[in-house]
Amino acid sequence: MSRQRPSKYAWVIVLLLFLFMLINFADKAVIGLAAEPIMKELELTPSQFGLVGSSFFFLYAVSGVITGFVVNRIQTRWALLAMGLIWALTQFPMVGSVGFTTLIACRVLLGAGEGPAYPVALHSAYKWFPNELRTLPTAMVSQGASIGVVLALPALNYLIVRYSWHWAFAALGLTGLVWALAWLALGREGTLNETPTPTEGRSFGRIPYRRLLLNPTVFAACASGFGAYWGLSLMIAWLPHYLIRGLGYTQQQTGWLSTLPWVCNVFIVIGAGWLSQNLLARNYSSLVARSLIGGGAVALGGIALIAMPHVEAPMLNLALLVFGISVPSVIYVLSPAIVSEFTPVSQRGAMLTIITAVSTSAGLLAPYVMGRIIENGATASEGFHRGFLICGFVSLIGGLIGMAFLRPEAEAARFAAADAAAAATRNRLINAELAL
């Protein structure tokens, strides 16, 4: 275990990154909240709006991977500042009259700016916290998303109902600019664990990306993340519309009801983060404290979503939907910590963005697939239920893969052994040359 401890300023950074993720997910969620008025104003079909939801992820993964390699070479504080500015500026074209093409273009650019957000924010936070103390700050940063949406959705919905959906986008643009100024003034770069140490179970040197990527643990992290993100992307794009068209609520009621999954996320994810860190402190293996909890949460959410379409009571239907989408979010906290256990710090930014890119690629498919299913269903409610059933199976499969193959300690030991063997070979060659 590392003997390093975070400084007090580390929690200032965590707070700023918490706000960063708050704005990030408010930007994502506003499109679903405004779905009904946007579809009416622009006369969009469900499949067209599904395309709008999916377009956000068109450059999301590509941008995430590219930025991941960039932040291996530059300070994360400047990357985060650039992202914050991009988010703000892409909201302002939505203030005026827009068409279908402009709407898609703005969402594509916003997705490109937001793709690297979470892994880069974690990479920034991890420079302030040693391995055994990362789970709680990770949970806090990630819950900027849930708490942000809980706070933002009612306020944004008020603007939509009282004025128009254009005002909601304007408010987000201004909020993004305020955060960018705060980060410019207060953001700092941490230096903790800049050099990998054997106490963290990592190799002394760089590991070829081929070896890092082509191992069962990284594959399982991507699979479980993909399963969780299928549901998350549906929640972002379609949940408010489902509440209106599927369950019969009004736009005003939807503003509050849409916060339910995010409220649950706050308690579930922070609670799981606390449990995981507590188990690690009590010397439980990472397999138990991180892998089984993370993969199990995704699988459990999938089971709830599979059951949901077969329940007729509206309140129980909504409860299963909220549970099925919320619980898998635990994996967003635990899988980055798992991958970081065996990834050298100099390569961590790239690895976190790569697994995030693969996981979030579910967003390219899920909203559009749901739109097509709704359009072809006998009723909107029937289409939604079929779409959520598919989501349940995707989550269940991803969670089971995570439970079976997330093995960070085994990967760390394997890489450390390979590094030691390579070092021993080099020493023998050097000694042989000296003997000659």
pLDDT digit string, tens, across residues 205-261: 678 888 888 889 999 999 999 999 999 899 888 888 888 888 888 888 888 888 888
Which domain range does residue 321 map to?
A: 9-190+212-435
The Cα 275–Cα 283 span in angstroms is: 13
Instruction: Read off the DSSP letter of residue 246.
Output: I
Quick check: is 206 in a domain? Answer: no
Amino acid at 79: A
Q: Is the CB of residue 353 less than 8 Å from the CB of residue 64?
A: yes
Amino acid at 94: M
Q: What share of the chain is helix, strand, coil (3-state, %, to 5)?
A: 80, 0, 20
The whole-number pLDDT of residue 392 equals: 96
Quick check: is 310 in a domain? Answer: yes
Instruction: Read off the DSSP letter of residue 74.
Output: S
Quick check: is 186 in a domain? Answer: yes
pLDDT digit string, tens, across residues 370-397: 999 998 888 888 899 999 999 999 999 9
The whole-number pLDDT of residue 128 equals: 83
Quick check: is 203 in a domain? Answer: no
Task: Tell me if residue 120 falls in helix, strand or coil.
Answer: helix
3-state secondary structure labels for all residues of 340-352: HCCCCHHHHHHHH
Quick check: is 90 in a domain? Answer: yes
The Cα 412–Cα 408 span in angstroms is: 6
Quick check: is 70 in a domain? Answer: yes
User: Which stretches of 71-164 are DSSP H helices?
Assistant: 76-91, 100-114, 117-126, 135-162
Longest Cα pair distance anywhere in the chain, in angstroms? 86
The Cα 253–Cα 241 span in angstroms is: 12
Quick check: is 2 in a domain? Answer: no
Q: What CATH number should be reported for the domain holding residue 282?
A: 1.20.1250.20
Q: At what angle do helices 314-326 and 216-241 cross, to 10 degrees?
A: 150
Total domains present in the chain: 1
Quick check: is 101 in a domain? Answer: yes
